[in-house]
Chains A and B, each alone.
Chain A
Amino acid sequence: MKKNVALLLLVGMIVAVLSACSTGQGGKAEDSGEAEGGVTTIEFWAAPNPTQQAYWQEMAKAYEAENPNVKINVSAIKESPSSEASIQAAIAGRSAPTMSENINRGFAAQLAASKALVPLDTLPGFQDILSSRNMTETIEPWTFADGHQYVLPIYSNAMLFGWRIDILKDLGYEQPPQTYGEILELTKKLKAAHKDKYLWAKADLIDPTAWKRWFDFFMLYNAASGGNKFIEGDSFVGDEAAGVETLTFIDNLRKENGILAQNVTDPFETGTSVFTDLGPWTFTMWKEKFPEMKYNETFALTMPPVPDGKNPAESKTFADTKGIVIYADATEAQQKAAVDFLKWVYSKPENDLKWFEQTMLPPARDDLSTNEAFKAILDANPQLKPYAENVPNAIPPMDNAKYNELQTLIGQEALNKVVRGEISPADGWANMKKAIEDALK
């Protein structure tokens, strides 16, 4: 009896250990996407929002109808707790999809450094996508430090600043201010007229979370520096004069009590603040929640302000842009099918138009503001025009694999402290520069 019990336990333990040690590849062979009966299956992870998921499902269905030898399974990237974490876990667990969208350049750099992505420029047919979609110029700044392209940008938002033009008109302004000096002047007038209003109300200004720097620091810094790269390869190449000017502008706003760095519900929409960073995705939300927000009636859009003495017409901004990647774990057949699918989608401007109409995110094309296909949507939504026009003036995020750490340091060492009045702009910049250089070593 005791022998039987011991045997049973031993067998149980061995099964447990062996099954726990298995890589799970037994199951993977079944879904590997290898042509089975002539059909190649590819897994496409779409952005975790219903609109983009629906768009890609529609595209996949239409493609499958014309190409019965390819099956595309579209599903949303899980956010547990973030889409980046889910992708990383999937790659580590050997269950990565063939391709996914919603990848920013920084994250792509992290994945590329770990050889998890296929350099797209090495795949046959990739150049055809660029030329048929008319995006050879738009993709140029996306080239990574190693000379390859790892991401096919889908959309590119030239991030703009929104102004409550109705409140500004009450203060005697016909146009929003465009330089630091003009904005400080406005802040003084605003505080004199409305003690409880602020120029910029944004809790993120004191939050060191890396991606938040794209929508405050980099918008202003790109304008002040004329689009300086900040990080090139593994070197810090930040423009000190522009950086200190940017931080000084924020410091001056703080001194004028123009910044409210607290969690505020809809500060711009409620008029608590008159200035905010705006992406075109906001307009879909406004249509539902704040129908009173009308372009050039309640709000206006401008490129980021520039330091005094600089030409506002030459302002640059941050490009909030995301794209598609193909994972290195995908088989050759899957990679080929993935490129062919993208070639099919982007061979017709109507598909980009459909994307634009459904998501309000400007397709990453050189001809967005000139192609007749997009004229109707831009005419019907004039607030989207400045986004389309400024695509060439928008600088994509850095392509350093340590982008998260580096951008966290911008907040921790400089911006957050300046907003809280804990450090001078020059010292903040110097500390940040040192911390970034140490991190890059």
Chain B
Amino acid sequence: MGQYEEGHRRRTEIKESSHGATKQQVGLVIYQPVPHLFHRFFFIPLIWSFYLSFTDWDLIAPEYHFVGFENFMDALRSPSVHAAFWVTYKFMLVFIPIVTVMALTVAVLVNGLPRFKSLFLIGFFLPYLSSGVVSALIVKGLLSYNSPVNTFLRSLGITIDWLGTPMSALFVIGIILAWKFTGYYALILTAGLSSIDKEVYEAAAIDGVTDRQRFWRITLPLLYPSLYTTLILAFGVTFGIFTEVYQLTGGGPNFATNTWQMEIFNQAFKNLQAGYASAVALLASLATFISIYIVRKLLELWGKRYGWN
């Protein structure tokens, strides 16, 4: 009887599909753009980039030469590439703790609201939609020598060249990025918070758990899947920083904010060295892949402590 019902249901579903096509067939048709996009925007550019990295081509000249591993050797010796490698990790040290704490704070506060949660989340999400160019220019104005902020600081005897000092330039850009991504990550974390079973908190309350214990011992471990996602996304962001650096510091002072993307852009579009830029891009991909892999493993180890596999 059960088998008959199941078979009837599936037959009905098939008939319901338009023009007699099965769901599987409809799915396959919808899927068709995927291999197309995959090839056009990932596979072919990747192979092309490999090819380019062994040439001295600028993408324009009718003639070019194969240079073997010369581009890679030059890149490995280049001070600006060394800077790009280390600057990425410096940005991680600034950006990830700030954005995680801010997103977590926003998520916890918004989740505790009795009403208008969505409204607040949309509000915090808006910076993510804002133009990086515009926000960078606003920050540039706010931090200029004669801005009210700096005029006030000078009146207290404090003079800071925000974008002209390596450390402060890193902090300023890290904070802009944290401001931009906080709402986005808070959205993910809020979804995670709302999926935590309320009964766990009720049981903890009966056991007399304090607010601090509640956060550290219950909320944070149960939020692990969402935190894992936001942290991996945040690590990924640090390998793709461009607009803010391009607008505010141009990679300076002294390469202190020279990111992989800045380096690739400078070589490909300013020095017209597409072959060399491809080699740098492949090195950047390698650094990204290895770093994200290590981060993933570390996060998984952390998750295992709380029983997440």
Where the two chains meet, the residues of A that have a C-beta atom closer than 8 Å to any C-beta of B are 4-5, 8-9, 12-13, 15-17, 19-21, 81-82, 84-85, 88, 91-92, 110-111, 113-116, 201, 203, 206-210, 260-265, 267, 270, 272, 401-402, 404-405, 416, 420
Say yes or no: B40 contacts A208, CB within 8 Å: no
Say yes or no: B60 contacts A84, CB within 8 Å: no
What string of 1s and 0s marks CB contacts (under 8 Å) between B59-80 and chain A? 1111000000000000000000
Residues of chain A with a CB closer than 8 A to B253's CB = 206, 416, 420
Q: How far is the CA of A209 from the CA of B255 in the complex (A)?
A: 11
Residues of chain A with a CB closer than 8 A to B141's CB = 265
B7 within 8 A of A: no
Select one of B39, B59, B145, B254 contacting A201, CB under 8 A: B145
Say yes or no: B164 contacts A262, CB within 8 Å: yes
Residues of chain B with a CB closer than 8 A to A4's CB = 25
Where the two chains meet, the residues of B that have a C-beta atom closer than 8 Å to any C-beta of A are 24-25, 28-29, 31-32, 35-40, 44, 58-62, 140-141, 143-147, 161-164, 243, 246, 250, 252-254, 265, 269-272, 274
Select one of A19, A115, A264, A267 contacting B61, CB under 8 A: A115
Residues of chain B with a CB closer than 8 A to A91's CB = 59-60
Q: How far is the CA of A5 from the CA of B270 in the complex (A)?
A: 48
Give 28 CB contacts A-B under 8 Å.
Answer: A4-B25, A5-B25, A8-B25, A9-B28, A13-B35, A16-B32, A16-B36, A88-B60, A92-B59, A110-B58, A110-B272, A113-B61, A116-B60, A203-B163, A206-B252, A206-B253, A210-B270, A262-B161, A262-B164, A263-B145, A263-B162, A264-B145, A265-B144, A265-B146, A267-B145, A404-B270, A416-B253, A420-B253
**Closest A residue to B269 using CB positions:** A85
Say yes or no: B145 contacts A5, CB within 8 Å: no
Say yes or no: A114 contacts B44, CB within 8 Å: no
Residues of chain B with a CB closer than 8 A to A261's CB = 164
Say yes or no: A263 contacts B246, CB within 8 Å: no
Q: How far is the CA of A88 from the CA of B20 in the complex (A)?
A: 50
Residues of chain A with a CB closer than 8 A to B246's CB = 81
Q: How far is the CA of A270 from the CA of B147 in the complex (A)?
A: 12
Residues of chain A with a CB closer than 8 A to B24's CB = 5
Say yes or no: A404 contacts B271, CB within 8 Å: yes
Q: How far is the CA of A54 from the CA of B140 in the complex (A)?
A: 31
Say yes or no: B271 contacts A207, CB within 8 Å: no
Residue of B40, B147, B161, B271 with most partner-chain A CB within 10 A:
B271
Residue of B39, B162, B272 with most partner-chain A CB within 10 A:
B272
A12-B35, A114-B61 in contact; A402/B271 too (CB < 8 A)?
A: yes
Residues of chain B with a CB closer than 8 A to A21's CB = 44
Say yes or no: A209 contacts B39, CB within 8 Å: no
Say yes or no: A260 contacts B145, CB within 8 Å: yes
Q: How far is the CA of A267 from the CA of B147 in the complex (A)?
A: 11
Say yes or no: A114 contacts B272, CB within 8 Å: yes
